[in-house]
Amino acid sequence: KRYLNPYDIQAVDGVAVIEEEVCETSPSARFNNVLHTVTANGEYDKTTQGIFDNFLEVKCKDPYMDAVILGHEWLAMSDRLNQEISHSQNYIFMRYLPFLPVAFHMLFASNSHRRIQYPNTQYENFVKLNKTLNLLTSLLSGVTPATKRNAHTKVAVLDILPLLVEIMQPNIRPVNTQLYSTKEKEQLCNVVSTMIAYNLTYQQRRSPEGQYTYCLEPNIEEVVKFGGLPVKKQMTYATKQLIAREIELEKMRRSEGVTTKENKEQKNPVEANTGDKKQQSTVPRHKEKLQPKKFDIVEDQPTRDFFGRIVKVPLKENTGEQESEAEENKKSKRNNCVLWYKFHEGYTNAIRRNIQIKDLL
């Protein structure tokens, strides 16, 4: 009734009927033409998505933006209708969905030609949402238990991660850590501890231009920063490399500390039952199992010829010198035992294991 012209209506038996000969540019004709076109199409969701992606690009003479506000109210009403239809399966509300394009036509239509883009905002936001959720899942699955108990997904996005991005950018020099002052060492230690607690680090990547850069992994900046904003000043390549190296060293120290503590807590079951509190040996455990190999004493064998017959060696005149020489030969044979080693070529991944250099020394 708002868009109907009273001069276009005639009464037939007390019922208002629109005349057939109506100007095509009149509001009533435009209203009915758009309503008929949208109803014949039937793709209400795609039409609504296309309107949402393009109506803000239309130039209209509306200094107070009343048409934009009214258009958002129509979109909100359409969302509530779709929600009610999906939840309650009450399809009687679908009769009101075609009026959304009609309202936008009456608010934003113009005679000038406008370039319309295919609606893809919903799909792009859907892909971005899934990517963000996967990133948060991988981030929260690797944090320490003390941090995870307070890091809910919503709390992390709104309260923790935005401030964490600023905390991870300390003002330190990209030089050797031995040249740092006490304050700089404390800042570096805090940054390393915080990034380990939230399972963050810097990884080296190669850009399409062929340059190597250190990127945050997982990249939480994609979650907390809006697109299109100017990029803030980033840390230098050397600083990120230094932080990444300190993170790896700290992880190794903590892992080695836990392993050493577990080895100390292990006790010999015999000592535990008898209550023996003897001082433990300082020899490493892998060396305690090593035992010296016993070699058989090689005794003197008689001299034989080519046919295996024993050859008698003439005795020397000085029997005392002969006996002493025989004893020395016997001792030298005992001391100079021959050790044989056999080398097997090749290797297999089934028996390989990582060991530390200190275990071989």
Question: What band does 348 get if pLDDT is binned at 50, 70 and 90?
Answer: low
Q: What is the mean pLDDT of residues 289-306?
A: 70
Q: Which residue has the higher pLDDT, 159 or 326?
A: 159
Q: Which of 7-21, 72-86, 223-237, 278-292 has the lowest mean pLDDT?
A: 7-21
What pLDDT, on a 0 to 100 scale, did the predictor assign at position 277?
46
What pLDDT, on a 0 to 100 scale, did the predictor assign at position 100?
92
Residue 286 pLDDT greater than 70, yes or no? no
Residue 324 pLDDT greater than 70, yes or no? no
Non-local (6+) Cβ contacts of 35 within 8 A are 98, 99, 102
pTM: 0.47
Share of the chain above pLDDT 70, in %: 70
Q: Which residue has the higher pLDDT, 103 or 265?
A: 103
What pLDDT, on a 0 to 100 scale, did the predictor assign at position 284?
64
What pLDDT, on a 0 to 100 scale, did the predictor assign at position 11?
47
3-state secondary structure the chain: CCCCCHHHEEEECCEEEECCCCCCCCHHHHHHHHHHHHHHHCCHHHHHHHHHHHHHHCCCCCCCCHHHHHHHHHHHHHHHHHHHHHHHCCHHHHHHCCHHHHHHHHHHCCCCCCCCCCCCHHHHHHHHHHHHHHHHHHHHHCCCHHHHCCCCHHHHHHHHHHHHHHHCCCCCCCCCHHHCCHHHHHHHHHHHHHHHHCCCEEEEEECCCCCEEEEEECCCHHHHCCCCCCCCCCCCHHHHHHHHHHHHHHHHHHHHHHHHHHHHHCCCHHHHHHCCCCCCCCCCHHHHCCCCCCCCCCCCCCCECCCCCECCCCCCCCHHHHHHHHHHHHHHHHHCCCCCCCCCCCCCHHHCCCCCHHHCC
What pLDDT, on a 0 to 100 scale, did the predictor assign at position 270?
46
Q: What is the mean pLDDT of residues 19-32?
A: 69
Question: What band does 355 get if pLDDT is binned at 50, 70 and 90?
Answer: confident
Q: What is the pLDDT of residues 178-197, one digit of tens each?
A: 888 888 888 888 888 888 88
